Structure 1
C-alpha cells in the first residue's frame, strides 16, 4: 500500500515513532525520521533493525518548537504524508492536578499543542505549494475523547496529567479544523487515538486498566500501527477529519 511513497515521522526517537518508522520501511516506503535527540533516535531505530546504512531512511534533527528549522525542513522535502509522534514537555510535567502551576500548564500546552499547530500548518502549506496529495496523521488519545478513569491510578504514583487531556482533545479538533479549512480531497488530516500502551507500568494499574477493556488490557505498540498506516495509504483516500480510536473498548 505504501511502496514508493515518502513519509515524515516526527518524534522517531520515541516508542511509537521508531516502531512506526520500521513498519513504513517494511511496507516499501521511504521515511524521513526526525527527532530533537538524534542519539536516542538512532539507538531506537537500530533496535528496530534500521541501521545507518538503510537507504530507505533519511535522518534529520528537528525541534518542532523552532520555526526556522521546521520551515527549512518542509522546504527541502518531497512528501506523501507525515505523522507527528512528538511529545515535548517540561521537566515538571506529570504533576497531579492541584500541584500543577499556571506557568507549567501554559508551558506544557504551548510546547506540545503549539508545536503540533506549527507542524499541521506546515503540512497544509506544503500541500498548497506543491499540490501533491498528502495525508497527515496526528496522535491523540482516548483521554482526548473521554474523561479520565482516575480509579485505575489508585495505589500508584501515576496520574493522568491535566495538560495531556487539554492537548489531546484539542488535537482532535485541530485535525478537523484543518481538514475543513483546506477543503480539498487530496489533503487529508486525521487522528489516531490509542488507549494505554504497555511500558512496564505498575501491576495494580495494569490490572485495573484491563478491567475496563474487553480483555486486552494495555495495548502493545504494534496494535496502533495498522490504523496509522491505513490513514497514510490510498485505501483511506476519502477518510478526512476523522479520529480512529484503538482501545479495545476502554472508552465505551
Structure 2
C-alpha cells in the first residue's frame, strides 16, 4: 500500500511506533525513525526484526519539545510523503489521580504532549508548503479524546485515567481538524486514529472490567491499530481529510 513512499515515524521507540515502523516497511515504504532515545529505539526496532544496518530505515535523534531542533530537522528532510506522531511525552508525576494533580504538573504535561504535537503538525504543514509534495499526517488521539472516561473500570486497581491525557487527546482531535481546514489543500491531509485501550501489562481485573464494555476482544493488541494508520498514509485515503478513525471494539457505543 505504501510502495515508493517515505514515512516519518516520531516516537519510533515506543510501543506503537516500533510496530508501526515494521509494518510500514512491510507495506513497501522507507522509514525515518525518530525518537529522543536512539539506543532504546534501536533495541525495540530489532525486536520487530529491523536490523541496525537496514538501509531502508534512517534513524534520527529527535526531541519534539525542542523547537529549534525540530525546525532544523524538518528543513533537512527530502522526499517525505507522510508522518505519524506516536510520541507520548510526560513528566515524572504524570498519572496522579484528579484531586492530586497540581496546576504546575497539569500545565507541564499539556505543554509537553499537546505543545509538541502542535509543533509537529506545524512543521509538517510548512514542509508541504515548501515542497508542494502530497503529504499525509496521522495524529494519535484516543477514545478518551472522544468520550468521558468510564472510571468504574479502574476500581480495585492502582490505575486511573489521567486528566491531562483526556484534555490532550480531545484537543488533538480538534487541532488535527484545524490544520486540515487551515491548509485547505487536498494534497495535504491531517487525520487522527483513536485507539481504545492497548494491552501493556495491565492488571487482570482491569482487563476484565474493560472487556465488559466491549463487543468481544476488549483491550487491543498493537497489531489491531497499525492497519488504520497505514491506510491513512496510503493513496487509498487520498481524499480523507480532517477525520478520526476510532478502533475500540465497541467500547464507546
Residue of structure 1 in register with 2:203 after alignment? 202
Residue of structure 2 in register with 1:17 after alignment? 17
Q: Partners of 2:60 and 2:49 in 1: how far apart?
A: 18
Taking the TM superposition and a 5 Å limit, the aligned residue runs for 1:1-252 are: 1-78=1-78, 79-252=80-253
Q: Deviations over 1:20-65 (max 9, x none)?
A: 0000011110000000011110110010011111111000000001
Q: Partners of 2:60 and 2:232 in 1: how far apart?
A: 24
Q: Which runs of 5 or more residues in structure 2 are unaligned?
A: none
Q: Partners of 1:22 and 1:54 in 2: how far apart?
A: 11
Q: Partners of 2:187 and 2:234 in 1: how far apart?
A: 12
**Coordinate RMSD, CA, aligned:** 0.5
Q: Deviations over 1:56-90 (max 9, x none)?
A: 10000000011111111111112000000001100
Q: Partners of 2:132 and 2:39 in 1: how far apart?
A: 35
Q: Deviations over 1:74-118 (max 9, x none)?
A: 111120000000011000000000000000000000000000000
Segments ≥4 residues shifted beyond 2 Å: none
Q: Partners of 2:2 and 2:231 in 1: how far apart?
A: 9
1:138 deviates by 0.2
Other structure's SS at 2:177 match = helix
Q: Partners of 2:161 and 2:84 in 1: how far apart?
A: 24
Q: Deviations over 1:141-165 (max 9, x none)?
A: 0000000000000000000000000
TM-score, normalising length from structure 1?
0.99
Q: Partners of 1:195 and 1:109 in 2: how far apart?
A: 21
Q: Partners of 1:166 and 1:55 in 2: how far apart?
A: 39
Q: Deviations over 1:177-224 (max 9, x none)?
A: 000000001000000000000011001100000000001110000000
Q: Which runs of 5 or more residues in structure 1 are unaligned?
A: none
Other structure's SS at 2:21 match = helix
Other structure's SS at 2:32 match = strand
Task: Give the aligned length.
Answer: 252
Other structure's SS at 2:189 match = strand
Q: Deviations over 1:102-135 (max 9, x none)?
A: 0000000000000000000000000111100000
